[in-house]
Amino acid sequence: MYKNVFVNQCGYLPGMQKKVTIRSEKPTPFSVHKSSGEFVLSGTADKRVENASAGETDYIGDFSALTEPGRYYIMTENRSESDTFVISENVYDSVLQKAFAFFYLQRCGCDLPREAAGAYAHRACHTGSALVYGTEEHREVSGGWHDAGDYGRYVGPGAMAVAQLLYAWERNPSLCGSYLSPASSAPEAAADSPTADTARHRDADSQKRALPAWLEELKYELDWMKKMQREDGALYHKASCRSFCGFIMPEEEQEEIVLSPVSVTATGDFAAVLAMAVRFYEKYLPAYAAELADASKKAYQAMKVMELPGGFKNPPEISTGEYGDACDRDERYWAAAELYKTFGDAEYREDFEKLAAEKIYCGYGWADMGTYGNLAYLSTEHPVDEALKSAIQKEMVSHADTLLKVVSADGYGVSLTEKEYVWGSNMNLANNGLHLFDAWKLTDDRKYLDAAAEQLHYLLGRNPMGLCYVTGCGSDAIRHPHHRPSGFQGKAMPGMLSGGPCSWLADETVKGVFTAPIPPAKCLCDMTGSYSTNEVTVYWNSAFLQLLASVTEALH
């Protein structure tokens, strides 16, 4: 269905700024109606934007005056209608439930029963020992989350996802605490299940608080990452088969699992995220938190003596996701800051401040971990260099100001320039929202918070494609993601964030669809074969969830 009127299909909190984008050649009057058809209010979309990214002229209208809970739609004078949307204090509860349940459904190495996983139920997968590349050694590395549309498991992206989900919990424990794991509907777990493993840790602890379902799920990934640590403290980069399999269920992938060589980035990310996790788990599982602390410190020391110029590269026989990163300074930066915040040792402070003196890093992506380090340093209770602290804050706000200029000039409030619709653009956009949110926290200036919320609205429907980019949400969501279980079952697993428009046209499916030049913001192909525009990953979902939790807590 061709659309001209674009809103967040899932809806809005009552106190949110609410904007509509109308594709038009002139200022356009509009009216808001209840789903019953009853007129509520009127307005005019009169802010004109020549939108090069979408190849269109847009007019923006504001209906923020509408705060009464209910179900609504917008109509223009020529009777074009928007998708329906809801205004409610708990409008995002179901979105969060679906988007976080995705992590449970991505579990590797354990049975997912039908009562919990529905059509995506499967037997335990990838349970055999893994070959250490270049040796005859085998290791047991079952567990963790399948990274994306494939069944590989990768330390760096996994660490990013856990960090963002810990921040989501910290910023909005009420919303995240409302999450109910699909496992709660399944039969009682077997003795070797993650739940039983947590119980064993709890029995070893003096405190026996119930571990929230949110933190239980993250523990499943942390436990797997611990298995990826070598005896000297370094981390194997990834666990995967030598090549990608077809569209089969995970237990049907029977090729040998191989542990790729260690990397600085995986080791630094592991040290950082485990140090971070200590602060969250110590009040629930003190003995487990102590295990995390020991593993983190061991990885940090291993990282300090590692030098791998050019970063990790796939061995010749392995063609699964490389996650190569030529610069490991930001991972060292994050690790030093996180260990200093948790443990307070002077060594970690000195290491961080030396790196920060060279460059203040900013970034939330798997290849750009700087902002995690900044947040840790700014929030530590241990002594810091006040001049450096001020410089970090200034850099973070300056970065947000650059994004704000882009948001203000875009017809959909997007933080991406015309050249920035790349592979995983929706992750970059969500992470830009987090940078804007951070600037609001530092300045208390509402313009940054509103701009952060615009990134959420884009992902949920106010975009040039008129699609909700999270499967199973809104009234017109992505239906055919590049995701093996979804492709095998012929139905999109709910709660997955699509990668989004990618102007590179980097796969054969999208090249076959777009045979003529197309605007960057519309280079999206909702077809299973389009891995460059329509794949899913755990760390795209984590970026979305951190943004959702942050914005909703601030605007309630």
CA 479 to chain centre: 19
Catalytic entry in 58, 150, 221, 223: 150
Beta bridge partners of 506: none
State the SS3 of 15-70. Answer: CCCCEEEEECCCCEEEEEEECCCCEEEEEEECEEEEECCCCEEEEEEECCCCCCCE
Strand order in the sheet with 258-259: 138-139, 130-132, 258-259, 238-240, 153-154
Q: Answer yes or no: 535 catalytic.
A: yes
Concatenated DSSP letters of 94-136: HHHHHHHHHHHHTB-SS-B-HHHHGGG-B---S-S-EEETTSS
93 with 175: CB under 8 angstroms?
Answer: yes
In degrees and rounded to multiples of 5, residue 552 shows phi and psi of -70, -35
Residue 146 among the catalytic residues: no
In whole angstroms, what is the distance from residue 176 CA to residue 370 CA? 25
Tokens of 550: 């942050």
Q: Measuring CA to CA, which residue among 194, 157, 378 is closest to residue 273?
A: 157
How many Å is the maximal CA-CA distance in the chain? 72
Q: Is 150 one of the annotated active-site residues of the chain?
A: yes
* 399 labelled catalytic: no
The 3-class secondary structure across 401-458, one letter per residue, is HHHHHHHHCCCCCCCCCHHHCCCCHHHHHHHHHHHHHHHHHHHCCHHHHHHHHHHHHH
Beta carbons of 291 and 353 less than 8 angstroms apart: no
Catalytic residue among 201, 482, 483, 507: 482
Angle at 94 between CA 90 and CA 95, to 5 degrees: 105
One of 223, 331, 351, 535 is an active-site residue; which one? 535
131 is written with which tokens?
């070959």
Count other Cβ atoms within 10 Å, centred on residue 554.
Answer: 18
**Look-up of token digits 């809104």:** 474
Count CB atoms within 10 A of the CB of residue 231: 7
To 5 degrees, how large is the angle CA 24–CA 26–CA 27? 100
Q: Give the Cα separation of 375 and 196 in Å (integer).
A: 34
Catalytic-labelled residue, pool 253, 269, 450, 526: 526
In whole angstroms, what separates CA 306 from the centre of its chain?
28
Q: Do residues 454 and 406 lie in contact, with contact meaning Cβ atoms separated by under 8 Å? A: no
Query: How many CB atoms neighbour CB 313 within 10 A?
Result: 15
Q: Is 12 helix (H, G, I), strand (E, B) or coil?
A: strand
Residues marked as catalytic = 150, 482, 526, 535
